[in-house]
Amino acid sequence: MQLPMSRNTDIPGGLIHETNTHVHLLRRDVLLTQAMGGPLAEQSEEHLERIYDVLDLGCGCGGWAAQMAHRYPEMTVVGVDCNETFIHCARSFASIQELENASFQVMDVTQPLPLLDASFDLVNIRLLGNTLLPEQWEPLMQECQRLLRPGGVLRITEAEWGCLGMVSAAFARLFSLTLEALAHAQPPLLSLLDRPTSLTPLLQPFLRRHGFEAVQGVAAAIDHSAGTEGHLAFASEYLLWFQNHAATMIEAHLLSREMFDVLFKQTSQEILNTFSGILYLFTAWGEKPMSAQNNVLSKVTASQEPLPVVVLDAGVAPFLEHLKQASTICV
């Protein structure tokens, strides 16, 4: 999920500024991928040998796509996003790393994509559950089927947000009010594939329902409490999330503008020190069926053993070093 960019840079505590928001999003992408063991950690070596062309839908600032291109130089990676600023940042980040096998284009994944049929071996979707409306998923799944070659893999990663421990009262109230406002908006803004309570358990049935075979899944977790590597990146995103949905909360008469400003200021100041949380991730993937005569070959060759949950506890190199350079370009 990529939250809409906020133009307001007057946030107490100096945690979010227009000049470093993209770097926070890149850092978050890198940390998420590390927590999952790598960009395609769940795929077997035999299966990786069949992947040449990769498409990342809703790529944001290009963190996952760039890591893919770096880890697998024999693959061609294309990232698309409707946000022109994100695409500019992704191109800059790839240029810094001299990734000639990565490219980025401005495209809206809710519309038919100007890409050739059967042109990709793997399509990646990460954290779009809070972005797309329920009715937008069906045409997107049809596009994925169209774009994938027979035997190609659709890979979806989603997260369970809000698994929080020690947070301030102001943060807790803003979090609950934001969810309430999004759930009751007209039309509902909290789509999550029409989920009743939790999204990640629905991913594998969702893939099977849309015709994908040999569906599997794997879990991971990332600690983004105060003092961890991922804290600032995720703290920034929480604040952006609150800020971007302030109007929705106010229009729903859940709080006044004055009360939002008070809660937001308290949260911005306290989140640096009094915050603990773990983000739980789940990746599900399945394979587009082969033609009828070759259907017996359509079983994914990825390992049948689920990967253990990995909790982030270390820095990332060399990507986080590149982010220092990116901070002067991704604006």
Q: What is the pLDDT of residues 204-240, one digit of tens each?
A: 999 999 999 999 999 998 888 988 888 888 888 888 8
pTM for the whole thing? 0.77
Q: Inform me whether the pLDDT recorded for 323 exceeds 70.
A: no
3-state secondary structure at position 14? helix
Backbone angles phi, psi at 84, to 5 degrees: -65, -35
Q: End-to-end alpha-carbon separation of the chain, Å?
A: 20
Q: Tens of pLDDT along 146-157?
A: 999 999 999 999
Residue 207 contacts residue 286 (beta carbons within 8 Å): yes
High-pLDDT (> 70) share of the chain, % = 77
3-state secondary structure at position 68? helix
Question: Could you confirm whether domain 12-326 is CATH 3.40.50.150?
Answer: yes
Q: Inform me whether the pLDDT recorded for 329 exceeds 60.
A: no
- What sign does the dihedral 70-76-80-85 (CA atoms) show? positive
Task: Verify cis geometry, omega within 30 degrees of 0, for the bond prior to 318.
Answer: yes
Higher per-residue pLDDT: 9 or 172: 172
Mean pLDDT on 191-199 = 53
Q: Please state, in angstroms and rounded to a whole number, the distance separating the CA atoms of residues 309 and 163.
A: 15
Compute the mean pLDDT over every residue in the chain, rounded to the nearest whole number. 81
Distance of CA 70 to the CA centre of its chain: 19
Per-residue confidence (pLDDT) for residue 249, from 0 to 100: 94
Using pLDDT thresholds of 50, 70 and 90, give the confidence band for residue 24.
confident
What are the residues whose beta carbons fall under 8 Å from the beta carbon of 64, sequence distance 6 or more?
29, 32, 33, 39, 56, 79, 124, 126
3-state secondary structure at position 209? helix
High-pLDDT (> 90) share of the chain, % = 50
Q: Inform me whether the pLDDT recorded for 75 exceeds 50.
A: yes
Domain ranges of the chain: 12-326
Q: Inform me whether the pLDDT recorded for 188 exceeds 80.
A: no
Q: Inform me whether the pLDDT recorded for 102 exceeds 50.
A: yes
Residue 297 contacts residue 209 (beta carbons within 8 Å): no
Q: Please state, in angstroms and rounded to a whole number, the distance separating the CA atoms of residues 154 and 144.
A: 7
